[in-house]
Structure 1
Amino acid sequence: MNSYTRIPLTELGSGELESYDTQVILNDDFQDTHGRRFSYLRLSITDVCNFRCDYCLPDGYQCLDKTEPLSLEEIRQLAQTFAAHGTRKIRITGGEPVLRKDLPDIIAALKQTPGIETVALTTNGYKINQHIDSWKAAGLDQLNVSIDSLDPKVFQTITGHDRLQEILTGIDRAFELGFKDVKVNAVLLKSHNANELNSFLNWIKTTPVTLRFIELMETGQNPDYFAKNHLSGEQIKQQLLANGWQQKIRNKDAGPAQEFDHPDYRGSIGLIMPYSKDFCSSCNRLRITALGKLHLCLFGEQGYDLRHLMAEGKQAELETAIQGLLRDKKATHFLHDGQTGAIQHFAQIGG
């Protein structure tokens, strides 16, 4: 049932959004004015990262705000609100979420939220062998691990860590524990892994992961790096199609990847191409930062502070605020115009 409420949206975005009276329609699902429904929430639980990936944090993590990240109770309240309005999948991101010692508790809280069907985790693989059993026991459904190169030396050059074999062993452990949906993310980088397609293909010949190639995206701090390293995923797509790979139908709660499979390979391939035509037309996700700000788009101009509404007894206000802000969600990002929004690096928001 729809409810109609006239309330002032005050204090959102710590003054970034003016107070105004408006009629807000709360539907069963959160949706924007372009008809897109949001069944998928990307939830950052920390902006701290211990890797130094040269496309994201080449100088390592710099602490700019010592405010504590969202608490377990705030996360629980947030999950209940989103689940009540159509969100069925929550992905835990960072920074590096493994650095939070209460990660298993967070996974369990999300998994136990009525309406949430899938809890996923994106990690750089740090100490994955030490933790994955507890993640599985807590209810984790999906695992995404970042591996930008299968060459140990190149991997260390990109990340600043010699942990490739440890991470690969952790993925093997994930299969032993029964994970059915393991994804490996690799950012396409002209100066590092442009010649590794065959190596990756050989790996997924016998390894049942979904390998996702992600086009490098421009941020506020990497314009020169972007210009030197950006590769289009379109050439990989055409190569796959020419070699018998078939594009799969996209699930409603899936991410933005175009996915392909081949009868001779146990693994599959996904391509995330934010510069492709109509990339934003199927957008189904919203983002909450570790400090409780709602980002309508990864490349939006600002985040809106909702943390003061993530408390028991304020769910109705939180619902109304989110739906009101969705009225401002644009039809597309403006990456093609060189507008990268407020984001300086992906650890800020969680990618």
Structure 2
Amino acid sequence: MKVSNMRRCVSKFTADWHMCFRNLNFFLVGFVGSSSVSRNFVAERSFSSHAAPKTYASSSAKLADDQTTDNSVSDMLVDSFGRLHTYLRISLTERCNLRCQYCMPSEGVELTPSPQLLSRSEIIRLGNLFVSSGVNKIRLTGGEPTIRKDIEDICLQLSSLKGLKTLAITTNGITLARKLPKLKDCGLTSLNISLDTLVPAKFEFLTRRKGLERVMESIDAAIALGYNPVKVNCVVMRGFNDDEICDFVELTREKPINVRFIEFMPFDGNVWNVKKLVPYAEVMDRVVKRFPDIKRLQDHPTETAKNFKIDGHCGSVSFITSMTEHFCAGCNRLRLLADGNFKVCLFGPSEVSLRDPIRSGADDEELREIIGAAVKRKKAAHAGMFDIAKTANRPMIHIGG
């Protein structure tokens, strides 16, 4: 009995210590993030008199939502820098019904044979493993996740996992309007729709397919079904759609849309060039000139986006600055690829297979050890912008959006 009591005491001490360490780390992340705002670009200072103060007064309350209250968060999800990973992105397929130039090489990609992709039962098993260890948000990606025939069943089973608070999807919206009512019934709580232009001819050029009207229908369908906000992801590329920035902002005037401007990122085969990159500072400068009543919102320490609200607009505007102002210090994201490989950093080439151990008979504890070891190897930050462009990495369609 004495030995048993001692083990329980040690276990409780260890769990409490990890929780305190994580909270301290998140406080420091929030402090650093807050300090960095004062060094932000000239455009942001130009409306500082209108901007909301960049503080994290309520961060602790929000962080409590990211953690289970019974100290059951697994050490598997904590890296060597104290970052707790509560957000898992699962790619359901490498296939897509568009051929976006920044996602897929012009010559196409070699797809993984179907038998080598994760089955539904394998996805659910791994989803359960992560959620039972502390993950509370899952996002389904692709390829185009809605073209997977069993997506409704996957959503239904994942949304039923105890401890999961958010089940989201990133989609190109081509088939979403038709499928969304059922997906919502199956537990889909949040969605992002990728849309990079509002001009039909540009849409066809970029995606190598027609379909702008169907995407707009999906946005309206999501609003009608009560999704709020409906997030619209726009990758800004110089000479292609940077003249539409304010047109996208106008989408937020009357509708609960969160337009998210994303800096153009390098992946294998997408012919990335720094000249195509439109930095956050430049995009913001254009927005401020047209919409001077824009105000900074308070961001969660693990947020990838800088979030803003414009007076009189129903929706909001955000900026994802992966290239010019990375957010690695607060990263809480992990990725499970369609072929079962596990990836701890979007820009890191390192991957480890979870599919192979599963099919070799590994039990959950063995899988946790593999996952935990990979998480512990995660670096403090990804390489600089130009080093990323030189680093071998898979095409985005393989990784998952």
Bin of the TM-score, shorter chain as denominator length: 0.7 to 0.9
Q: Determine the structure 1 residue equivalent to 2:392.
A: 342
Write out per-residue CA displacement over residues 144-182 of structure 1, whole angstroms, 9 at most, x where no aligned residue: 111100111111111122211111111111122121231
Aligned to 2:146: 98
Partner in structure 1 of residue 54 of structure 2: none
2:160 equivalent in structure 1: 112
**1:335 CA drift (Å):** 3.5
CA RMSD of aligned residues (A): 2.1
Partner of 1:33: 80
1:289–1:72: structure 2 CA closer, same or farther, 3 Å change rule? same
Counterpart position of 1:17: none
Question: Partner of 2:317 in structure 1?
Answer: 269
Write the distance in 2 (CA, Å) between the matches of 1:221 and 1:161. Answer: 19
User: How far off is 1:94 after superposition?
Assistant: 0.3
In the TM superposition, what whole-angstrom CA distance separates every residue of 1:229-255 from its partner, at most 9, and x where no partner exists?
21112222345456121222223664x
Contact 2:86 2:137 in 1 (8 A): yes
> How far did 1:302 drift?
2.3
Per the alignment, residue 46 of structure 2 pairs with none
Moved more, 108-117 or 315-324: 315-324
Bigger strand share: 1
Residue pairs, 1:60-79, within 5 angstroms: 61-68=108-115, 69-79=117-127
- 1:281 maps to which of 311, 324, 329: 329
Matched, 1:322 2:356: no
CA distance in 2: counterparts of 1:331 and 1:40, whole angstroms: 17
Q: Residue type of the partner of 2:348?
A: G
Query: 1: CA distance between counterparts of 2:275 and 2:75?
Result: 45
Displacement of 1:44 after TM fit? 0.4
User: Contact (CA 8 Å) 1:217, 1:226: kept in 2 or not?
Assistant: no
The AA in structure 2 aligned to 1:47 is: E
Would you say the 8 A contact 1:204–1:266 is kept in 2?
yes
Could you say what secondary structure the match of 1:121 adopts? strand
Conserved 8 A contact 1:39-1:284: yes
Q: Does 1:56 align with 2:103?
A: yes
Structure 2 match to 1:332: 381
TM-score (norm 2): 0.76
- Structure 2: how far apart are the matches of 1:163 and 1:278? 32
In 2, distance between residues paired with 1:58 and 1:299?
17
- CA deviation after TM superposition for structure 1 residue 56, in Å: 1.7
State the alpha-carbon separation in 1 of the partners of residues 221 and 336 from structure 2. 30
* Contact 1:52–1:60 (8 Å) recurs in 2: no
Corresponding position of 2:274: 227
Residues 1:87 and 2:135 are matched in the alignment? yes
**Alignment partner of 1:320: what SS?**
helix
Call closer, same or farther: CA 1:156–1:337 in 2, change over 3 Å.
closer
Please name the residue that 2:213 is paired with. 165
SS in structure 2 of the partner of residue 332 of structure 1:
coil
CA distance in 2, matches of 1:286, 1:219: 18
Tell me the alpha carbon deviations over residues 79-119 of structure 1, each in whole angstroms, 9 at most, x when there is no partner: 11111222110000001111101011111111001111100
Q: CA deviation at 1:43?
A: 0.5
How many angstroms does 1:58 deviate by? 4.5
Unaligned regions of 5+ residues in structure 1, if any?
A: 4-25
Q: Does the 8 A contact of 1:29 with 1:37 survive in 2?
A: no
Give the alignment's TM-score, normalised by structure 1.
0.87
Letter in 1 for 2:383: F
- The structure 1 segments of at least 4 consecutive aligned residues displaced by more than 6 Å after TM superposition are none
Q: Which runs of 5+ in 2 are unaligned?
A: 1-10, 16-72
**Separation of aligned partners in 2, 1:43 and 1:269:** 26
Q: Is the 8 A contact 2:246 2:287 kept in 1?
A: no
Distance in 1 (CA, whole Å) between partners of 2:276 and 2:318 is 20
Provide the identity percentage. 33
Q: Tell me if the contact between 2:139 and 2:170 (Cα under 8 Å) persists in the aligned partners.
A: yes
- Which runs of structure 2 are paired with 1:204-243 in the superposition (5 Å)? 204-223=252-271, 225-240=272-287, 243=292
Structure 2 residue 171 is the aligned partner of structure 1 residue 139? no
Distance 1:253 1:178, change over 3 A: farther
CA distance in 2, matches of 1:248, 1:276: 20
- Deviating more after overlay: 199-208 vs 85-94: 199-208
Distance change (3 Å), C-alpha of 1:43 and 1:132 = same
CA distance in 2, matches of 1:29, 1:324: 8
Q: Name the CA distance, whole Å, in 2 between partners of 1:213 and 1:284.
A: 20
Query: Counterpart in 1 of 2:178?
Result: 130
- Counterpart of 1:342 in 2: which secondary structure? coil
- Name the larger-Rg structure: 2
Q: Distance in 1 between matches of 2:267 and 2:384?
A: 9
SS of match in other structure, 1:203:
helix
CA distance in 1, matches of 2:354, 2:231: 31
What is the deviation of 1:57? 1.6
Distance 1:324 1:29 in 2: 8
Query: In structure 1, how many angstroms separate the alpha carbons of the residues matched to 2:106 and 2:327?
Result: 31
Which position in structure 2 is the counterpart of 1:197?
Answer: 245
